[in-house]
Amino acid sequence: MQERIDRIKDQLHAASYKLTPQRESTVRVLLENEADHLSAEEVFLKVRERSPEIGLATVYRTLELLAELKVVDKINFGDGVARFDLRKEGAEHFHHHLVCIECGAVDEIEEDLLGEVEKKVERDYQFKIMDHRLTFHGICHRCQK
Amino acid sequence: MQERIDRIKDQLHAASYKLTPQRESTVRVLLENEADHLSAEEVFLKVRERSPEIGLATVYRTLELLAELKVVDKINFGDGVARFDLRKEGAEHFHHHLVCIECGAVDEIEEDLLGEVEKKVERDYQFKIMDHRLTFHGICHRCQK
DNA sequence: TTCGATGCAAACCATTTGCATTAAC
DNA sequence: GTTAATGCAAATGGTTTGCATCGAA
Q: Name all contacts of A2-5 with Cβ < 8 Å and 24+ positions apart.
A: A4/A31, A4/A89, A5/A31
Q: Rounded mean pLDDT of B129-136?
A: 94
Is the minimum CB–CB distance between A126 and chain B shorter than 8 Å?
A: yes
Q: Residue A108, SS3? A: strand
Estimate the share of chain A in helix, then strand, then coil, as percent rounded to the nearest 5: 40, 25, 35
Q: Look over chain B and give the mean of its residue pLDDT values, rounded to a whole number.
A: 94
Q: Rounded mean pLDDT of A123-141?
A: 95
Q: What is the pLDDT of residue B122?
A: 97
Q: What is the pLDDT of residue A102?
A: 87
Domain spans, chain A: 1-90, 91-144
**Strand C: residues with CB below 7 A:** A 17-18, 20-23, 51, 53-58, 61-62, 80; B 18, 20-21, 39-41, 56-57, 60-61, 64, 80-82
Q: How far is CA B35 from CA A21, A28, A83, B23, B108, in A?
A: 48, 44, 29, 20, 8
In sequence order, the β-bridge partners of residue A109 are A96
DSSP alpha helices (H): ranges in A15-102?
A: 21-32, 40-50, 56-68
How far is the C-alpha of B73 from the C-alpha of B133, rounded, in Å? 10
Q: What is the pLDDT of residue A55?
A: 97
pLDDT-based confidence at B128, cuts 50/70/90? very high
Q: What is the pLDDT of residue A21?
A: 97
What are B38-72's pLDDT values in tens digits?
Answer: 999 999 999 999 999 999 999 999 999 999 999 99
Model confidence at A9: pLDDT above 90: yes
The answer to whether residues B72 and B64 touch, using CB atoms and an 8 Å cutoff, is no
Model confidence at A145: pLDDT above 90: no
Model confidence at A110: pLDDT above 80: yes
Please give the CATH topology (third level) of the domain spanning A1-90.
Arc Repressor Mutant, subunit A (1.10.10)
What are B112-122's pLDDT values in tens digits?
Answer: 899 999 999 99
φ, ψ for residue A92, nearest 5 deg: -100, -10
Mutate to test the interface with B, among A128, A129, A145 (most CBs of B within 10 A): A128
Model confidence at A109: pLDDT above 80: yes
Q: What is the pLDDT of residue A124?
A: 97
Q: What is the pLDDT of residue B1?
A: 82
In sequence order, the β-bridge partners of residue A61 are none
For domain B91-144, the CATH class is alpha beta
Q: What is the pLDDT of residue B104?
A: 86
> For residue B105, which of A133, A94, A127 has the smallest C-alpha distance?
A127
